[in-house]
A = this chain, B = another copy of it.
Amino acid sequence: MSTVPMTKLGPSPVTEYLRRVVADLREVEGGAVNTSIPELANADPSTVGIAVATVDGALYQAGDTKQEFSIQSISKAFTYAQALTDRGVEGVFEKIDVEPSGDAFNEISLQPDTGRPSNPMINAGAIASTSLVRNTSHGSRMERILRLYSRCAGRQLRINKTVQAQERRAGDRNRALGWLLTSRGIIEGDPTRALEDYFSQCAVMLNCVDLARMGATLAAGGRNPVTGERVLEPPVVSDVLSVMSTCGMYDDAGRWALRVGLPAKSGVSGGVVAVLPGQLAVAVFSPPLDRHGNSVRGVAACERLTKDLDLHFARTERNGHSTVRAEYTLAEAPSLVRRNEAATEVLEEHGEDARIIELQGDLRFAGAETAVRTVREAARQSRYVLVDIRQVDDMARFVIPMLGRAAEQVENTGHHVVLIAEKGNEHAGRLEHPMPVFTTRAEALTWAEDRILEEFGGGECTPDKVASTRSELLSTMDEEDVRRIRAHTEPVSWDAGATVLRAGQKFNGVFMVTSGRVEVSRRSPQGDRVELEIIGPGMSFGEIAMGTGLRHLVSFTALSDVTAQRLSPEAIAQIEEEDPRLALRWWRAVGQQAMLRIEERWRQRAGETHTAG
């Protein structure tokens, strides 16, 4: 094992992609920073940051993701969550409806019949949400709100006192809304404390990464993917995401649903967070706003990501938990090639130097991200990573290029990634940087083993020619015995492609291969031809029929020109008759080889069981 440091491997293809998006976004013009308070008016309009956080804790970022900004209206989604937690769905619904209003966010309007704000994402609704959060013995309302945001972000967030003071100074319209809510009985009594807390919550500072983590906590049904803490209950999260899906982007809901198709929330400081339930969240920060009050580059970024990465709800997949069907090393699942002792020793020593990753399910972004992450991590540990995509149901167009890019990065470290795919050429054709593609796992494993043997083994590991006297079958016998057995054998040969023995044929001897390769195969119950073993120089075949009533149940095919020494049934009988002690030692050698193979199978099983359950 030679572990490659992550720095040498380079940034993930996902990070590279986000960097390209940020570079493109810097070119996007238009929009204007919000000027409602000086701190917002002072924002640098050229700032752009993107972060993507997944439900299993991965994080990707590009651009100005360290830049802090005030949370502003994005707070509304999370405070609503706290209100739902404190008062229950029905308790909150009595005070705040959930219908998109079509109005601007700061409209002075409540529903004529009930006096309720139309939804919790307009200011009136948000002030009502804040008022519904309880003061408890575990903390004041504002402490509890800040604690919720912090637990969602996974770090302690703080209120910016300057922003808070400015919000308070610019808050007259919100005061009007507060008193209107009181007049309709939505807020009980003086709304001043609720308004104070509302101003404070808008002034909570965070950066793009915090926002992505907060979104990922919603994506994960309320469990923070990094800290593992359950921050919100799933039904609360479901309700919050639902309201975000219809009311989160002010009066741009319809176009947002069409172009992005993810529940989202934006704020006038220029932040946007979009959530793909069960999978991930995207956070963007860029101050210039469009006429709806949404970040121009934030909207552009979300549209771009949705399009490039198939994130739209109507094209989505579930989370990537099961993308990796199994991961195991060569040590646990060697190729079908029967190796000699020298080769087996080298391969055992380097059993961790090749690693198989089986992928499955639908590969869209979350699955591809998991796959790429797994491949990169595996390629740091192992010289050869074989990615088996034959069990993948459906694959988005960017998956193969993304795997290809990961393979290219790995190649630069001196390690290698190859693909195992049913339609090898079609997939390979989609790659800019070509990577080896095999159609069966056996082929790919053989390739990896051969390269390991070439690098670490001597010539004796993969000999072109092995005298029958050096056959593994006779390896436990002494030289004199081997010489005497050899005298009973005769040379045989086959051309490449020839059928050596067919299933059903009678036992006609034990064959010690001296050159070339023979494939052992048999029909599956469904009639498919299944490759079982490959036998090369120094190995033998035919002996198994001695355990099955002297009839072959498998077929043997010459993969190349093959030469062998044959010990015929008649020769065996003759030895048994004439030299029972020699026959005894021969049978013991043959039996020992078979025992060794049973033991090898046990060892493999012990490895397999761990990975495949």
> Would A254 and B98 count as touching, CB distance under 8 A?
yes
A232-263 Cβ-contact flags toward B at 8 Å (1 or 0) = 00100111011101110001011101100101
Residue from B237, B261, B278, B576 within 8 A of A242 (CB atoms):
B261
**Residues from chain B with Cβ under 8 Å of A520 in the complex:** 602
A99 within 8 A of B: yes
A411-445 Cβ-contact flags toward B at 8 Å (1 or 0) = 00000000000000000000000000000000000
Alpha-carbon gap, A243 to B313, bound state (A): 12
Alpha-carbon gap, A254 to B122, bound state (A): 14
> Would B234 and A315 count as touching, CB distance under 8 A?
yes
Alpha-carbon gap, A90 to B483, bound state (A): 84
Give the number of residues in A that approach B within 8 Å (Cβ atoms). Answer: 91
Most buried by B among A317, A520, A532, A602: A602
A226 within 8 A of B: no
A254 in contact with B591 given A238-B312, A547-B598 (CB within 8 Å):
no
Alpha-carbon gap, A318 to B119, bound state (A): 30
Q: How far is the CB of A485 from chain B (nearest CB, A)?
A: 14
**Residues from chain B with Cβ under 8 Å of A543 in the complex:** 595
A112 within 8 A of B: no
Residue from B246, B251, B390, B530 within 8 A of A253 (CB atoms):
B246
A598 in contact with B598 given A102-B102, A590-B591 (CB within 8 Å):
yes
A607 within 8 A of B: yes
Alpha-carbon gap, A97 to B258, bound state (A): 11
> Would B528 and A609 count as touching, CB distance under 8 A?
yes
Q: How far is the CB of A30 from chain B (nearest CB, A)?
A: 19
> Would A613 and B391 count as touching, CB distance under 8 A?
yes
A-side interface mostly: helix
**Residues from chain B with Cβ under 8 Å of A325 in the complex:** 325
> Would B361 and A221 count as touching, CB distance under 8 A?
no
Alpha-carbon gap, A587 to B591, bound state (A): 7
The 4 A-B residue pairs with the shortest CB-CB distance, nearest first, are A547-B595, A594-B594, A591-B591, A318-B318
Q: Beyond A100-B254, A580-B580, A590-B591: 12 further Cβ-contacts under 8 Å?
A: A99-B253, A238-B261, A238-B315, A245-B257, A246-B253, A263-B314, A321-B361, A391-B613, A522-B603, A530-B610, A547-B594, A584-B587
- On A, residues with C-beta under 8 Å from B are 97-102, 119, 221, 234, 237-239, 241-243, 245-247, 251, 253-255, 257-258, 261, 263, 277-278, 312-319, 321-322, 325, 331-332, 360-362, 390-391, 393-394, 520, 522-526, 528, 530, 532, 543-548, 553-554, 576, 580-581, 583-584, 587-588, 590-599, 601-603, 605-607, 609-610, 613
Q: List 22 A-B contacts (CB under 8 A).
A: A100-B246, A100-B254, A237-B314, A243-B254, A246-B254, A277-B314, A277-B316, A322-B361, A522-B606, A524-B607, A525-B607, A543-B595, A544-B598, A545-B595, A546-B595, A548-B595, A553-B603, A576-B584, A580-B580, A580-B581, A591-B591, A598-B598
